[in-house]
Amino acid sequence: MDQFARTTKDLGAVLRRARKAQNLTQEQLADRAGLWQRTVSNIETSASGAKLDTIFDLLAALDLEIRIVPRSKMTPADIEDIF
């Protein structure tokens, strides 16, 4: 299922859900991505300040990709239904 991320906090939440869906700990994901566990934790709580390369390393380790599309014109209620 597609997930929306419009903020760094949203992106961290998407990554956390994907990690948990694959039954991975932060440490296991960090090992896969060649990162420190603390880095994964920081990104999951708020990806603010994270290097784009680091985000792509995590996406690759989770077998995910980013798709760039025009912003939808959803209402806040529509967004709540997604999550």
pLDDT at 47: 67
Give 51-65 pLDDT, tens digit per residue: 999 999 999 999 999
Please say whether the structural domain 8-65 has been given the CATH code 1.10.1200.10. Answer: no
**Three-state SS annotation for the chain:** CCCCCCCHHHHHHHHHHHHHHCCCCHHHHHHHHCCCHHHHHHHHHCCCCCCHHHHHHHHHHCCCCCCCCCCCCCCHHHHHHHC
Look at residue 68 and tell me whether its pLDDT is greater than 90. no
Taking the model in full, what pTM does it have?
A: 0.80
pLDDT digits (tens, 9 = 90+) for 11-53: 999 999 999 999 999 999 999 999 999 999 999 998 678 899 9
**What are the extents of the domains in the chain?**
8-65
pLDDT of residue 73: 75
